Copies of this chain bind each other. A is one copy, B any other.
Amino acid sequence: MRNDVTRVIDAEAVAAIVSKVGLDHLYDMAIDRLMAVMTDSVQGLVELRERDGFVLTTPHRGLVEWMPALRHGSTVAVKMVSYHPHNPAKYLQPTILSTLYGFDAASGHLRAIVDATFATAIRTGAASAIASRLLADPSSSVLGLVGCGAQAVTQLHALDRVFDFDRVLVSDVETEAENGFAARARGAGARVEVVSLRELEDRADLICTATSVAVGEGPVLADAAAGHVNAVGSDMPGKIELPISLLRKRVVCPDHRGQASREGECQQLVDGEIGPSVLDMIARPELAAGLRDRPTVYDSTGLAVQDLAMIELFEELASECGVGVDIAIESNSGDPRDPYAFLAGSQV
């Protein structure tokens, strides 16, 4: 590995990787890598800092956050992720934009930058697939998706790798989003059925909520017959998708207790009301086994170690596929004691 250049794995390189590897296989790899890195986390091989960030109020309401993780002896990964719900309408940009940065733990050198909007979407889907495999009825056959945006597509795709759904019920506050969903679901589109929210709550046996509901305007769900619910959209203080009445009837399992209590559905609960985290269940599988027959919620906020796993995966795949652009971003003069050595021929 050269330590004088940074590999930029831009959107074009990510597209080339997907084209080579195939989406289905990429989801399978993401699920495997997330499972592995969460096991590494339990064993202390990786560590994370809780997500922190700025809540923006001007010119629009939004978030810019950082998610740092470390694989000891190898990589410091920092994911930057922003949430700007007005982006689609105002700037024709995705609500969630994200980039991942990988630094060599040995020298601090910036080894890679990866466009992470896509990587974040598939890892968020993969995380729900892992939680659902732990907590939901394996024979769940009707998936309900509340919110028909980009995250719903990746939730469906990831869960489809693990479950065998006959039907995919979808509902959104915007008719246009509902009607376009089947096309965005690609191969899964034939199973998609647009229904009312009430019908979705009644018929689905596994639900994912992934909405841009505004702070103070939730919850989006009234109740649910489903045995398991993945609550994916809550990611900022004050934003909730599930009603407290539903949470109180279920065992609520967050990915990260601290983050979920600050930004997720667990904002509505006190400590004693929160169930074991997914990391707890990976450390002690009997915890999950005991929950299989009880109604559950997975409160997903996203873990920095999951993003670490994704930059590791994309760095490997970019090398294998020979894609990405190498740029000498960091000055690396011959004389580390001379701050001006990189100026070379200029007039210093």
CB within 8 Å of B: which residues of A? 3, 8, 10-12, 14-16, 18-19, 22-23, 47, 49, 52-54, 56-60, 62-64, 66, 68, 70, 72-73, 76, 78, 80, 82-84, 87-88, 90-95, 97, 99, 101, 103, 105-110, 113, 115, 117-118, 121-122, 148-151, 153-154, 177, 180, 184, 186, 325, 327-340, 342-344, 346-348
Main secondary structure of the interface of A (DSSP, over half): mixed
B107 engages A150 (CB within 8 Å): no
A91 engages B107 (CB within 8 Å): yes
Please pick, from B53, B80, B338, the residue contacting A110 in the complex, using a CB distance under 8 A: B80
Given contacts A3-B93, A84-B108, A149-B336, 12 further A-B contacts (CB under 8 A): A19-B347, A63-B108, A80-B101, A80-B110, A88-B336, A88-B337, A94-B336, A99-B110, A113-B113, A122-B339, A153-B338, A325-B327
CA of A153 to CA of B153 in the docked complex: distance in angstroms?
54
B76 engages A342 (CB within 8 Å): no
B18 engages A348 (CB within 8 Å): yes
Chain multiplicity (copies): 2
CA of A177 to CA of B335 in the docked complex: distance in angstroms?
11
Residues of B within 8 A of A84 (CB): 106-108
Interchain residue pairs with CB less than 8 A apart (28): A3-B91, A3-B93, A11-B331, A12-B328, A14-B331, A14-B342, A15-B331, A15-B343, A16-B346, A18-B346, A19-B347, A52-B68, A53-B68, A56-B70, A58-B72, A62-B107, A64-B76, A90-B107, A93-B332, A99-B101, A118-B342, A149-B337, A153-B337, A154-B339, A184-B337, A184-B338, A184-B340, A327-B327
